[in-house]
Amino acid sequence: MIKQFINSIQTLCEPDRVHICDGSEEEFHALAQLLEKQGTFVRLQKRENSFYARSDPSDVARVESRTFICSENRENAGPTNNWKDPKEMKALLENLFKGCMKGRVMYVIPYAMGPKNSPYTKFGIEITDSPYVVCSMKIMARIIQIDEGKEFVLGVHSVGMPLKEGEKDVPWPCNQEKVIAHFPEAKEIWSYGSGYGGNALLGKKCFALRIGSKIAKEEGWLAEHMLIMGLTNPEGKKKYIAAAFPSSCGKTNLAMLTSSLKGWSVECVGDDIAWMHFGKDGRLYAVNPENGFFGVAPGTSEKSNPIAMKMIEKDTIFTNVAYTKEGDVWWEGMSETPPEGLIDWRGNPYKKGEKAAHLNARFTVSKKRCPIYDPLGDDPRGVPIDAIIFGGRRAALLPLVVEAYDWTEGVLMGAALSSEMTAAAEGALGDLRHDPFAMLPFCGYHMGDYFQHWLDLETQERKMPKIFSVNWFRKNEKGDYIWSGFGENVRVLKWIFNRLEGSEVGVKTALGFVPHELDTTGLKIDEKELKKLFLVDSAAYSKECKDLLGYFQTTFGERFPRNLKDALTRWQDRM
């Protein structure tokens, strides 16, 4: 079946030749040299085995407006996805892909998503004409040998720029027309026109979340846009936490947090995706299906994430950051002032007042480079999840931390998640958008059914994790952030840890429990400002509840679960 599929794509796309990838270091270096030769990669002088790439200015983020779920039944795609009839989409794709790889090599990447020998690991094949994608997939996934006995999610990707005989290639080939199509029933992914990470690295959002969430629904587990971290207290006791944040809201920083509290430490399993299954003991266990980090560079610094800064010292691909005359990379936040002679992400001399790095500039690096990579990060059983956190970027309204009263109200916290827009997706910066479970662009089926799936997971036999909501981004009347964030977030994690242990007092509010007090030892924060962080403004939140009800009813209609509607009524009644 696999060979037939590869042959059919070869016939359709008409490449010059086919290369089956083996994931070896030799293969990576050969392709890196090829990318250097064609101007896609610049080898960095200051970082060992690291490269700088600059994309076409039209190809810098996920193209959500051109991303489709092509389910047989339109209703099953739901109101949060773009839908197209599978037959119509396949006809469109066959027209786009016809001869699209002329003058190029067709690379076949067989890969595993998940730890070796894990019962939770799934397998994929990505066919691509982009050596940049091959190099990135070498980092982000585990390239394996083709095994006809395994079930593969099949993926086809093309930059959509065939080359005529003798025609010179461009450093970043892409096409103005872009389509990313998912076929849930067939378990296939087709991506055309973009060379950018989220659109082109099909193991990431496309497989791990959009197709993965549909498989998870069918098989009774969860495929989530969540980090996985281990938190250890001074006595050496450890708990694992999964946390969902919309893109560019601090997931990577939290996953690699450097604790400001003596004796408390964090270890990282993953910063973006969690596949979670219930074990025989009734507990929820999580694996990270990815093998690397595709992190947002701007804002990453020695202050915000010293672990990441150490991690990217070598063996890293940087895309759309700025380039220094010394042969290194730079972005906003790395230092107070940009270095002299800087070249911006478009390839032009940097001008003061403009952005040197694109807001969505990225680094791609193996998770094994992470200095605090968790010892159980590749355990085939996964790690036991004690708590789930939902967090958005809100300047007002949401408390610093609140614990849900029960599983249903915790699921409502996830469903009610909203955040001010960031640069990781198309849209106006700062606009508030609802982003349930941080899965709005990634849920591969009807989100009302997705909410119900979360609710259905709770049974008497299972030990459900406690659910919390956090908001690091609350501001005061002057527009300044009240909370210090970064390493100080361990103080909130400490409260969560101790709540799980039953050793920390919670104060009842309309939303749930908030801290009676937080460990602020050595932290310079005004007592009045601190109290604002835990304030639940009844009048403001009563309006929020009405807005949420309107959003849920308008968007999901009858498929919005009754249990969540009742939970929202309880919130409102308590205000």
Q: Within 13 A of 433's CA, how many CA atoms are on the CB side?
A: 18
Residue ranges of domains in the chain, CATH in brackets: 2-39+66-220 (3.40.449.10), 223-292+374-535 (3.90.228.20)
249 given a catalytic annotation: yes
Single-letter amino acid code for the residue at 567 = A
Q: Report the sign of the C-alpha dihedral through residues 250, 403, 574, 416, in that order.
A: positive
Angle at 161 between CA 156 and CA 163, to 5 degrees: 115
Selection from 185, 223, 228 nearest residue 207 by Cα: 223
Give me the catalytic one of 249, 268, 443, 545.
249
Exposure b/e, 382-395, CB count within 10 A at least 16 = b = bbbbbbbbbbbbbe
Residue 129 tokens, joined = 């004409």
- Amino acid 575: pLDDT: 87
The 3 state secondary structure assigned to 454-510 is HHHCCCCCCCCCEEEEECCCCECCCCCECCCCHHHHHHHHHHHHHHHHCCCCEEECC
- Amino acid 420: pLDDT: 76
Residue 108 tokens, joined = 């076949």
Q: Within 13 A of 258's CA, how many CA atoms are on the CB side?
A: 12
436's CB contacts (< 8 A; 6+ apart) are 414, 415, 416, 417, 447, 450, 451
| Number of other residues whose CB lies within 10 A of the CB of residue 232 | 16
Segments of the chain scoring below 50 in pLDDT: 423-427, 429
Q: How far apart, in whole angstroms, are the C-alpha atoms of residue 446 and residue 457?
A: 17
Cβ pair 65, 365 in contact under 8 A = no
What is the pTM (predicted TM-score) of this model? 0.96
Cβ pair 66, 160 in contact under 8 A = no
Residue 518, phi-psi category: left (phi > 0), alpha (psi -120 to 50), beta (remainder): beta
According to DSSP, the residues that pair with 241 across neighbouring strands are 229, 387
**DSSP, res 62:** B
Place of tokens 């849209």: 427
